[in-house]
Structure 1
Amino acid sequence: MIRGFSADQVRAAEAPLLDVGEPLMLRAAHSLAGHVREQLCGGAIGNAPPTQRVLVLAGSGANGGDGLHAAAILRRDGITADALLTAETCHAEGADVLREAGGTLHCLAELTARPGHALEGLLGSSDLVLDAILGIGGRPEVPGHLRRLLEHLRRAGTPVIAVDLPSFLDASTGEAAQLALPARTTVTFGAVKAGLLLPGGSDLAGDLHLVDLGLGPHLPSRALVERLEDEDVRRLWPRAGRDDSKYTRGVVAIAAGSTRYPGAAVLACSGAARAGAGMVRCLAPAPVLDLVLRARPEVLGHPVEDGGVDLADIGRTQALVVGPGLPGDDARARSCIDALREDGQGPHRGVIDAGGLDALDASDAFGADVVLTPHRGEAQRLARRLDIDPELAAAPLARALAEATGATVLMKGAVTVIAPPDPEAPLLAQDDATGYLATAGTGDVLAGILGTLLAAGLPGPRAAALAAVLHGRAGRAASHDGLVPLVALDVAERVPEVLATILTGTEHHSEASEGER
């Protein structure tokens, strides 16, 4: 589990160590230098190619000090490393040790004042840049004197390693300035910052490497944000036992598909079946059921014509999925929502997606094992009906919707954000997907996968995060790791393969490995 903390939580955890004189900056710098060596020459000291040059963008604070100390260490190891000072002042001790190691400290103000292209020349001769302008005190605003520097580096595409976190990124919220530098890797110190896991920050961070500085005993027991890793999937996944039956494995009923969108039922049922449901029931009009049963003969069809659904007539069901391919005024949507409500007949576990979301109103109240799965537009429409600011960023919007409805909210996007209804519980944020999942029907597959996990008895927030992992990885597999387009049914069909890869541990997907200790 990757656990992300706010800037204030990290500062509070550092304080007792700094008070007793622990050399946190030097530990961070040594680990950072080791990672740079690994990038340049496989970790061997003194074997960097002679043409490779490292440039540290050093701000005035402790983050700049980390970068300057790392540059000095690299110099002593035979790697050419210099610094570009981006502020009027710099970390004095770090500057002194870099000079003593033979490094040059260039001043951004002086370079930009010279005629010609002195700044561009320095940047063009650099093969790797360490972004140490700002640390956890950074804000998503780029001052005017740094715009030329950042614009040039973004155009040039020079590889960047972010020192602790990318500059101009809010460490707690993930909000980032438009010109913030995307990193190939972020080497973060002491604890993962929550903003590195959330939309915005996760897009900039690249691969995460956590350097252990001994903060663990001083961090809160509850993180601000969590992210599941492969070992968590292996621990949480509901495996079939020898004595299981189709009923104990979990029965999921899916109210999906309409004359206009019949394929949504096929996709949702396929997602549920391929994720391992003991039984999938489809509640749909006869023409939709014909389509479903041709594709998935294992599904049990329950014909529904005009009117709602009486779950008492359906049979044993542990979870209910409602909404894929339904118009908001479909009677199935309202009757299934009424069943899922806290005061409804149950089951009180299920997924409300697509047309089901459009049927919600302010009077609907659910428990945490009901999961709403909106994309941004659906979330904004629901927010307006619930008198919530629809322009909130993804994480606070998901939080507000969860608190208003009592349900868990899975906000779809490049980074999937899951908000439990308990405001004190951590958010979950999964970044497993590919942009090619932005195609019709993939959300229906996700709803089916999630319905299966809820039918198996997993708590709503954990089921949502697990479904996001599996769905995202299946999308990556179907698109050959994001190289080619996919269609939604491809995603469902790749679920068993991806799950087997994770459960057998044949491929490692961890994003935040602990660095050198």
Structure 2
Amino acid sequence: MISGYSAKDIRDAEAPLLAAGQPLMHRAARALAGRVAERLRTPEEPHVLVLAGRGANGGDGLLAASMLCHEGVVVDVIATGDDLHGPSADALRESGGTIRDLAQTSLEDVEAQIAEADLVLDAIVGLGGRPEIPSELAGLLDAVRTSGVSVVAVDMPSFVDATTGQAASGALGAQETVTFGAVKAGLLLPGGSEVAGRIRLVDIGLASLLPAAPAVLRLEDDDVHDLWPHPDHHATKYSRGVVALAAGSPRYPGAAVLAASGAARAGAGMVRCLAPQSVLDLVLRTRPEVVGHPTDTVDLGAVGRTHALVVGPGLSGEEPRTRAGVELLSAADAALDCGVIDAGGLDAVTAQHRFGADIVLTPHRGEADRLAARLGLDADLPGPELAAALAAATGATVLLKGAITVIAPGDGGPLRAQGDATPQLATAGTGDVLAGVLGTLLAAGLPGPDAAALASILHGRAGRLASRDGRLPLVALDVAEHLPEALGTILAGALP
């Protein structure tokens, strides 16, 4: 599991070490230089261009560059400010590196330097970055971006908030970010996660000084292996979990097929579908293992043993099944305390409803905005803040769908942020599949936040497999059919 910390948490952890004279910059620079050297094994005469800003981030890049010079790497530096870290700049010059001032260099000369580089180090601004690019740097960043040269970010991609992840629209995307001491929360959240590339953490001695509770968590493959509900030799369909779906309508019958397929392919012991007969006929033609219950309401007493309820795929907020399902999950004395409220189910949630943390709301941004307006919340909040506000207002765990899925636990714990998806998942019906997967995991007994994170990982990886890692379009049923293979690759320790 990756833990992400706020900029304040990291500064507070660094402070006593810096006061004691610990050489944190040297440790960081040594590790950075080593990683860059690994990436430069192919060129015979490797050439690195460093974009160095003022302060410690530029100092990290300059000191690492001086170490690379001693290894035979040709290093040029473009200084983006007029106050470089003095000792690091001196070390670079002494080792044979050159420094040019951006303000005194033509764009043509800048482009020529970029063209000669095998790799660019982005050391303009790090932990103190803000999502604003000074106008005088826009041309430099555009030139690097259009060149296609590999970029390694030093601690943070520049112009990304290390705590919130908010990134300037022209922030330079990196293939890799070498981050020091602790992973910054902004590297895991929307914005920062999308420009950070692969994250490599360098230990510089902060671990024991960081807070016990991080700001953000991200599950990895090993966590999936540990948390996934593996049936034992004595398992039955009931012990594996029974999920009921209030899904599908004459207008949107396919939503029930997709939710049922997601639930079944994720390993549910039994999938029940509560829907009109016309919807059930379609579901059963595709998924004959589903148990159909012709109904226009949700009465679990009449349905039979059920461990989790999914409400909303293919329904409107006014549908009797929608309202009955939301009321059942929100009742303080409800026998069923875990489930999913998705799609039209979200339109039935009001300020009077209160849920437990094992009820998961699954809005995309538009649905989250509408729900926020009904609950009297600020719909213009950034995604992570909005998810947390919705969780606090409802008591439910909120899974905010997007390129980076953000999960705000209903119990107020650290945010989760998963980056496993592909843009090809932005197509009709894939959210219905996700709702079914999530319902299965809740029915198996996983807590809401864990179930939401696991469902996000599996759904994203299945989408990557179905689209051949984002190269081809997909349809929602493809995602459901690739769920077992995606799980198999994760459990085997191999990324799709």
CA–CA distance in structure 2, aligned partners of residues 273 and 147 of structure 1? 50
Q: Which digits, 9 at most, give the CA deviation of each residue in 1:139-186, with x for residues without a partner?
A: 111112212211222222221100001010000000011111000100
The alignment status of 1:56 with 2:50, answered yes or no, reads: yes
Aligned partner of 1:290 in structure 2 is: 281
The alignment status of 1:204 with 2:195, answered yes or no, reads: yes
Aligned-partner SS, 2:334:
coil
Instruction: Please report how far the alpha carbon of residue 231 of structure 1 lies from its aligned counterpart in structure 2 after TM superposition.
Output: 0.6
The alignment status of 1:87 with 2:74, answered yes or no, reads: no
Aligned partner of 2:97 in structure 1 is: 103
Q: Which digits, 9 at most, give the CA deviation of each residue in 1:317-370, with x for residues without a partner?
A: 000000000011100000011110142533110000001001111101000000
Q: Is the 8 A contact 1:318 1:349 kept in 2?
A: yes
CA–CA distance in structure 1, aligned partners of residues 222 and 182 of structure 2? 19
Give the counterpart letter for 1:22 in structure 2.
Answer: Q
CA–CA distance in structure 2, aligned partners of residues 79 and 152 of structure 1? 22
Counting only pairs closer than 5 Å after superposition, residues 299-448 of structure 1 correspond to structure 2 as 299-305=290-296, 308-423=297-412, 425-448=413-436
CA–CA distance in structure 2, aligned partners of residues 232 and 281 of structure 1? 29
Aligned-partner SS, 2:463:
helix
Aligned-partner SS, 1:4:
strand
Aligned partner of 2:253 in structure 1 is: 262
Aligned partner of 1:251 in structure 2 is: 242
Which of 261, 266, 278 is matched with 2:269 structurally? 278
Instruction: Please report how far the alpha carbon of residue 110 of structure 1 lies from its aligned counterpart in structure 2 after TM superposition.
Output: 1.1
Aligned partner of 1:234 in structure 2 is: 225
Does 329-338 or 31-40 show the bigger shift? 31-40
Counting only pairs closer than 5 Å after superposition, residues 454-473 of structure 1 correspond to structure 2 as 454-473=442-461
Q: Is the 8 A contact 2:125 2:158 kept in 1?
A: yes
CA–CA distance in structure 2, aligned partners of residues 366 and 410 of structure 1? 14
CA–CA distance in structure 2, aligned partners of residues 485 and 443 of structure 1? 16
Instruction: Please report how far the alpha carbon of residue 16 of structure 1 lies from its aligned counterpart in structure 2 after TM superposition.
Output: 1.9
Percent identity of paired positions between Structure 1 and Structure 2 = 63
The alignment status of 1:12 with 2:21, answered yes or no, reads: no
Q: Which digits, 9 at most, give the CA deviation of each residue in 1:90-127, with x for residues without a partner?
A: 00011111111011011111114xxx722222223222
CA–CA distance in structure 1, aligned partners of residues 334 and 108 of structure 2? 72
Which of 438, 452, 471 is matched with 1:450 structurally? 438
Q: Is the 8 A contact 1:128 1:158 kept in 2?
A: yes
CA–CA distance in structure 2, aligned partners of residues 375 and 154 of structure 1? 30
CA–CA distance in structure 2, aligned partners of residues 426 and 81 of structure 1? 41
CA–CA distance in structure 1, aligned partners of residues 331 and 66 of structure 2? 61
Aligned-partner SS, 1:371:
strand
CA–CA distance in structure 1, aligned partners of residues 244 and 284 of structure 2? 15
Does 465-474 or 333-342 show the bigger shift? 333-342
Q: Is the 8 A contact 1:338 1:344 kept in 2?
A: no
Does 10-19 or 67-76 show the bigger shift? 10-19
Q: Which digits, 9 at most, give the CA deviation of each residue in 1:16-41, with x for residues without a partner?
A: 22222221111111111111111110
CA–CA distance in structure 2, aligned partners of residues 76 and 434 of structure 1? 41
Q: Is the 8 A contact 1:342 1:367 kept in 2?
A: no
Aligned-partner SS, 2:40:
helix
CA–CA distance in structure 2, aligned partners of residues 256 and 342 of structure 1? 20
Aligned partner of 1:513 in structure 2 is: none
Aligned partner of 1:66 in structure 2 is: 60
The alignment status of 1:135 with 2:130, answered yes or no, reads: no
Counting only pairs closer than 5 Å after superposition, residues 112-261 of structure 1 correspond to structure 2 as 112=106, 117-261=108-252
Instruction: Please report how far the alpha carbon of residue 487 of structure 1 lies from its aligned counterpart in structure 2 after TM superposition.
Output: 0.7
Aligned-partner SS, 1:3:
strand
Does 58-67 or 17-26 show the bigger shift? 17-26
Instruction: Please report how far the alpha carbon of residue 462 of structure 1 lies from its aligned counterpart in structure 2 after TM superposition.
Output: 0.6
Aligned partner of 1:512 in structure 2 is: none
CA–CA distance in structure 1, aligned partners of residues 112 and 244 of structure 2? 64
Give the counterpart letter for 2:351 in structure 1.
Answer: A
Instruction: Please report how far the alpha carbon of residue 81 of structure 1 lies from its aligned counterpart in structure 2 after TM superposition.
Output: 1.1
Instruction: Please report how far the alpha carbon of residue 244 of structure 1 lies from its aligned counterpart in structure 2 after TM superposition.
Output: 1.5
| TM-score in terms of structure 1 length | 0.94
Give the counterpart letter for 1:484 in structure 2.
Answer: L
Aligned partner of 1:514 in structure 2 is: none
Aligned-partner SS, 1:414:
coil
Aligned-partner SS, 2:392:
helix
Give the counterpart letter for 1:105 in structure 2.
Answer: I
CA–CA distance in structure 1, aligned partners of residues 400 and 50 of structure 2? 37
Aligned-partner SS, 1:90:
coil
Q: Is the 8 A contact 2:40 2:118 kept in 1?
A: no
Q: Which digits, 9 at most, give the CA deviation of each residue in 1:179-232, with x for residues without a partner?
A: 110001000001000000000000000011111111110011110000000110
CA–CA distance in structure 1, aligned partners of residues 289 and 333 of structure 2? 29
Q: Which digits, 9 at most, give the CA deviation of each residue in 1:427-471, with x for residues without a partner?
A: 000000100000111000000000000001100001000000000
CA–CA distance in structure 1, aligned partners of residues 440 and 397 of structure 2? 16
Instruction: Please report how far the alpha carbon of residue 309 of structure 1 lies from its aligned counterpart in structure 2 after TM superposition.
Output: 1.8
CA–CA distance in structure 2, aligned partners of residues 342 and 34 of structure 1? 57
Give the counterpart letter for 2:352 in structure 1.
Answer: S
CA–CA distance in structure 2, aligned partners of residues 152 and 120 of structure 1? 6
Q: Is the 8 A contact 1:439 1:487 kept in 2?
A: yes
Unaligned runs of 5+ in 1: 43-47, 510-517
CA–CA distance in structure 2, aligned partners of residues 162 and 441 of structure 1? 36
Instruction: Please report how far the alpha carbon of residue 508 of structure 1 lies from its aligned counterpart in structure 2 after TM superposition.
Output: 4.5
CA–CA distance in structure 1, aligned partners of residues 331 and 196 of structure 2? 40
Aligned-partner SS, 1:117:
helix
Name the count of aligned residue pairs. 496
Give the counterpart letter for 2:175 in structure 1.
Answer: R
Q: Is the 8 A contact 1:56 1:83 kept in 2?
A: yes
Does 375-384 or 338-347 show the bigger shift? 338-347
Instruction: Please report how far the alpha carbon of residue 14 of structure 1 lies from its aligned counterpart in structure 2 after TM superposition.
Output: 1.1
Aligned-partner SS, 2:482:
helix
The alignment status of 1:21 with 2:21, answered yes or no, reads: yes
CA–CA distance in structure 1, aligned partners of residues 156 and 272 of structure 2? 47
